[in-house]
Structure 1
Amino acid sequence: MAASSSLALQNWQLLHEARQRGHDAYVEQALRLEQYYLGGGLQWDPEDRVFLEGEGRPCIEINQIWPAIHNALGHQIHNRMDMAFRPRGGEADGELAEVLSKVAMQVADRQQLHWLETQCMADGLIQQRGYFDVRMDMNSPTAKAVGL
Structure 2
Amino acid sequence: VFQSFYLLQRLTAVENVGCPLRYSKVPPKEIHRRSLAMLEKMGLADRATHRPDELSGGQQQRVAIARALIGKPALLLADEPTGALDSHVSKEIMDLFISLNLEEGITIIIITHDEKIAQQCSRHVMMKDGVLR
Structure showing greater Rg: 1
**Superposition TM-score, scaled by structure 2 size:** 0.26
Of Structure 1 and Structure 2, which has the larger fraction of its residues in strand?
Answer: 2
Of Structure 1 and Structure 2, which has the larger fraction of its residues in helix?
Answer: 1
Q: Whose relative contact order is higher, 1 or 2, with alpha carbons under 8 Å and at least 6 apart?
A: 2
**Superposition TM-score, scaled by structure 1 size:** 0.24
